[in-house]
Amino acid sequence: MAKTVTAKAHTNIALVKYWGKKDAALMIPQNGSISLTLDHFYTQTSVTFDAHLSADQVYFNHQLLPAAKAARISRFLDLVRHRSGQATFATVQTENHVPTSAGLASSASGFAALAGAASRAAGLRLDAAGLSRLARRGSGSATRSIFGGFVEWHAGHDDQSSYAEVLQDPVNWDIQMIAVVLKATQKPISSTDGMARVVATSPYYPAWVTTAETDLKRMRQAIIARDLTAVGQIAETNAMRMHALNLSADPAFNYFTADTLTAIQAVSDLRSHGINCYYTLDAGPNVKIICAGQDTNVIMTRLQQHFDADQLIVAKPGPGITITEK
Amino acid sequence: MAKTVTAKAHTNIALVKYWGKKDAALMIPQNGSISLTLDHFYTQTSVTFDAHLSADQVYFNHQLLPAAKAARISRFLDLVRHRSGQATFATVQTENHVPTSAGLASSASGFAALAGAASRAAGLRLDAAGLSRLARRGSGSATRSIFGGFVEWHAGHDDQSSYAEVLQDPVNWDIQMIAVVLKATQKPISSTDGMARVVATSPYYPAWVTTAETDLKRMRQAIIARDLTAVGQIAETNAMRMHALNLSADPAFNYFTADTLTAIQAVSDLRSHGINCYYTLDAGPNVKIICAGQDTNVIMTRLQQHFDADQLIVAKPGPGITITEK
């Protein structure tokens, strides 16, 4: 019987965003990014290569996926098979520990866990940087989910030079995020298509790449200094500049909903009352609030004027990937 | 008794936006702009210089304004007095024919009408370009409201070279706007302060100035060709790139409300059903829909799913300023 390898990886939220590919096939980004891995949201995935199978079998939260829905995972397994010489199909069991339909970057934890489990099950022995490079091929943000705490993904220029590494882990710092999980509406455009449209049509894109480089430098310094105010300000401005790119595309698009505007306004109001908190948004309506643990109660109380308690999730810095064999 | 001069000027909506000053004192913009003057919204203002007055008396919709609220108008009258040698104070009676609290650029029609009435009452005989230059000193968008139909404001580089002129009037073309007048919330920042913050802090601002130049060329051609699709597409993209600047400022701001997002989505939905309509937005939540008169009913029906009938105002191309003495 072939061995089963299980990997557990956590999601991450970018503080300096990745938005735009330089090379879509190799998933080389236009600019580097910095993220915080979160403890609350993770994916656990087991992979077993099995000579008896005539096709990959992918179970998502205990449900067998039809081949069309498993195609992206099978293509990723093809890459692992190609590198390892492993020739058989695999059973993949993946469990997503993210609130249902939260839309919280499950591809980051998902492809990080798959990279860890599939590569080890196929007999590859990759170090952390190698896992990061492999995860990148599944989903850009997965590049960072190999690591815990604060993580930087170096944009690089080819497969070898584009990988993430730890900036600071353990974090040892009272910084956290509160995720405001908003009602999912139909996404106007996928992040892959959205960023491609931005790169192709936004007159602001070259300035984004330049400003991201500046933000990376400033964010590294802010993290080293454990300066929550600086981390928050840089992250908020950077996130809005990413969303500004979407408005400036042709045709324009945006991921905001009415609830997004309400949550952003709540953070601004809290800040004008002296609470040190900042928001960031990815390619969806959810708002993530960067703050200190000591301010959790006052922020939650304010947000509960607009949102249900189960829409508000406190997440602390989380660990890097773990891989176990049995 | 001194003579009374009355001027009537209509508001205008920019199709290629003015956003950012090169010279705040002279109100020289960073980039040129193109607008459509609308028939539905106008200001009528009468000015009488009167040696018996010991201060300017400004009546707004028949109510005497306190001096603090009339200060901007008095400063404008100072400019007219300085140029004309007229030494007395004035009575100003102004009526704004814009739906209450519609927030529809009343400073454009207001300062255009004031420039027309005050200059003539003070004995100045300005041609249309001269009136446009004078109106500019009151409010940037007023520069364009001297003229009817499609109007271009040349950015220029000094007082003499920064003025508007007609691109096409009469329009002779079935193009109109439907104004969606949304509930006024507290404006996050005035347009004057907003554009100043953008010029000072947005990394995208230089690209905006370049893209506006391109949009001006394309918009002129689209107007000459009477190509509603091209006018709409250029206007919509240009407006969103202006709002993208606001998101990219530090700190970021935006003028969108939940209703703004709803109206924008309604226009996108209509377009995906084959209705040729486009949206534009200025420094406020209201949405203006560019369309042909023949599509009024289908657009109104769709919008009435979300908005009351009295929030929807159909406006046709409007005329230039008229000035009468008595």
Tell me the residues of chain A between 158 and 217 that have a Cβ less than 8 Å away from chain B.
203-204, 206-208, 210-211
Q: Check if A4-172+318-325 and A176-315 are the same fold.
A: no
| B197 neighbourhood in chain A, CB within 8 Å | none
Give pLDDT, residue A102: 52
**Cα distance from B259 to chain A (closest Cα, Å)?**
8
Give pLDDT, residue A139: 95
ipTM: 0.93
Percentage of chain A surpassing pLDDT 70? 97
Q: If one looks up domain B4-172+318-325 in CATH, what number appears?
A: 3.30.230.10
Neighbours of B311 (CB within 10 A): 19
pLDDT per position as a tens digit, B247-270:
999 999 999 999 999 999 999 999
pLDDT mean over B282-291: 95
d(CA B264, CA A253): 10
Strand partners, B219: none
pLDDT mean over A262-279: 97
pLDDT mean over A283-290: 95
pLDDT mean over B133-158: 98
Cis peptide before A66 (omega within 30 of 0): no
Per-residue pLDDT for A105 more than 70?
Answer: no
Per-residue pLDDT for B2 more than 90?
Answer: no
Per-residue pLDDT for A99 more than 70?
Answer: no
For chain A, give the mean pLDDT: 95
What is the pairing mode between strands B90-97 and B57-60? parallel
Neighbours of B112 (CB within 10 A): 37
The tokens for A309 are 């308690």
Give pLDDT, residue A2: 79
**Cα distance from B28 to chain A (closest Cα, Å)?**
24
Structure letter (DSSP) for residue A317: B
| A236 neighbourhood in chain B, CB within 8 Å | 251-252
Count the residues in chain A: 326
| B213 neighbourhood in chain A, CB within 8 Å | none
Res. A251 pLDDT band, cuts 50 70 90: very high
pLDDT per position as a tens digit, B83-129:
999 989 999 999 998 764 555 668 999 999 999 999 999 999 999 99
Give pLDDT, residue B128: 98
Q: Does A237 touch chain B (CB under 8 A)?
A: yes
d(CA B34, CA B111): 18
| A240 neighbourhood in chain B, CB within 8 Å | 247-248, 252
B5 touches B115 (CB < 8 A): no
Per-residue pLDDT for B186 more than 90?
Answer: no
| Superfamily of domain B176-315 in the CATH hierarchy | GHMP kinase, C-terminal domain (3.30.70.890)
Res. B183 pLDDT band, cuts 50 70 90: confident
For chain B, give the mean pLDDT: 95
**Cα distance from B149 to chain A (closest Cα, Å)?**
27
pLDDT per position as a tens digit, B39-57:
989 999 999 999 999 999 9
Q: What Rg value do the Cα atoms of chain B yield, rounded? A: 19
The residue among A50, A57, A42, A51 whose CA lies nearest residue A12 is A42
Q: Does B243 touch chain A (CB under 8 A)?
A: yes
d(CA B108, CA B296): 26
Per-residue pLDDT for A1 more than 90?
Answer: no
pLDDT per position as a tens digit, A55-94:
999 999 999 999 999 999 999 999 999 999 988 999 999 9
What is the pairing mode between strands A28-29 and A57-60? unpaired
In this structure, which amino acid lies at residue B224? I
pLDDT per position as a tens digit, B300-319:
999 999 999 999 999 999 99
Q: What are the Cα distances from residue B136, in Å, to A136, B39, B103, B106, B255?
A: 54, 21, 19, 14, 24
Q: Does B253 touch chain A (CB under 8 A)?
A: no
pLDDT mean over B147-175: 96
pLDDT per position as a tens digit, B209-259:
999 999 999 999 999 999 999 999 999 999 999 999 999 999 999 999 999
For testing contact with chain A, the best of B19, B213, B237 (most A CBs within 10 A): B237
B148 touches B319 (CB < 8 A): yes
Per-residue pLDDT for A187 more than 90?
Answer: no
Q: What are the Cα distances from residue B325, in Å, to A215, B92, B93, B146?
A: 60, 14, 14, 17
Res. A188 pLDDT band, cuts 50 70 90: confident
The residue among A51, A57, A56 whose CA lies nearest residue A86 is A51
The residue among B35, B313, B19 whose CA lies nearest residue B168 is B35
Question: Which residue carries 């030494």 as its tokens?
Answer: B87
Cis peptide before A203 (omega within 30 of 0): no
Domains of chain B: which residue ranges? 4-172+318-325, 176-315
Give pLDDT, residue B104: 64
In this structure, which amino acid lies at residue A16? V
Residues whose CB falls within 8 Å of the CB of residue B226, separated by 6 or more in sequence, listed in order: B173, B175
Virtual torsion, Cα A215, B212, B240, B15, nearest 10 deg: 160
